[in-house]
């Protein structure tokens, strides 16, 4: 019960963020771009504009809101609802993912740091909570501290991810504005789509920080969760 009260604000923000991103995406999926370009068209144009058309590929993938940039294969993966759609939502999402490709090409510091943290974060995210739980059940401060140290890696990853995502969105808006592939009236709509997506990363960061602070409070209290 103590944990729920402590993390409730972050949980509420997370629920709101998920609702906001889906509702905003659905809303602007119904608004067609005046220029008629699809998400794939936008991705190709921005990559070409930045001299990356030969080094970064674009491919459609299954799912909705499953879009991503894979730095291992140098591929912008666009979901079915983005790749062939000429909606404002599709254009915004496609430009955002190409923003990550540009970050990678320019060796953007926070992105490089996030990539280096992935192996540690994968281990920490799966091991930290079981260790913390066992430490609490056994009243073992040593195990609790180990779990907290591991979970700190997860928090650091989230803290690094937030500026990476915000920067990719900023790059997306600038690229769209400079290319002229959407009208000036459509830029605020794209910002709304990307702003809603940013909320999910903010919520994840606040949730991780809140959890870490709660675990630290338990540790400072001697492992007693009352």
What residues act catalytically? 97
What is the end-to-end Cα distance of the chain in Å, rounded?
A: 9
- CA 84 from chain center: how many Å? 22
Ramachandran sector of residue 223 (left: φ over 0; alpha: ψ -120 to 50; beta: rest) = left
Nearest Cα neighbor of 225 from 139, 162, 127 is: 139
129 vs 216: CA distance, rounded Å: 13
Contact 82, 37 (CB under 8 A): no
Of 141, 131, 122, 147, the closest CA to residue 212 belongs to 147
Q: Calculate the alpha carbon distances from 111 to 74, 162, 165 in Å.
A: 14, 10, 9
Cβ neighbours of residue 132 closer than 8 Å, sequence gap 6 or more: 143, 144, 147, 148, 151, 215
Q: What is the CA radius of gyration of the chain?
A: 20
- Dist. CA 122–CA 135, nearest whole Å: 21
């Amino acid at each position: 019960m103590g944990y729920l009260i402590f993390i409730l604000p972050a949980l509420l923000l997370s629920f709101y963020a998920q609702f906001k991103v889906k509702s905003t995406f659905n809303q602007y999926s119904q608004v067609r771009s005046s220029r008629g370009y699809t998400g794939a068209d936008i991705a190709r144009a921005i990559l070409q504009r930045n001299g990356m058309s030969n080094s970064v590929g674009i491919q459609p993938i299954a799912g909705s809101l499953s879009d991503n940039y894979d730095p291992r294969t140098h591929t912008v993966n666009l979901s079915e609802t983005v790749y062939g759609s000429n909606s404002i939502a599709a254009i915004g999402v496609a430009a955002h993912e190409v923003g990550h490709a540009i970050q990678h090409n320019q060796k953007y510091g926070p992105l490089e740091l996030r990539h280096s943290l992935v192996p540690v974060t994968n281990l920490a995210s799966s091991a930290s909570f079981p260790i913390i739980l066992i430490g609490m059940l056994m009243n073992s401060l040593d195990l609790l501290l180990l779990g907290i140290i591991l979970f700190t890696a997860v928090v650091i990853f989230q803290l690094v991810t937030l500026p990476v995502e915000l920067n990719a969105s900023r790059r997306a808006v600038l690229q769209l504005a400079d290319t002229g592939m959407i009208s000036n009236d459509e830029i605020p709509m794209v910002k709304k789509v990307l702003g809603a997506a940013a909320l999910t990363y903010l919520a994840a960061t606040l949730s991780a920080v809140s959890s870490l602070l709660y675990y630290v409070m338990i540790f400072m209290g001697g492992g007693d969760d009352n």
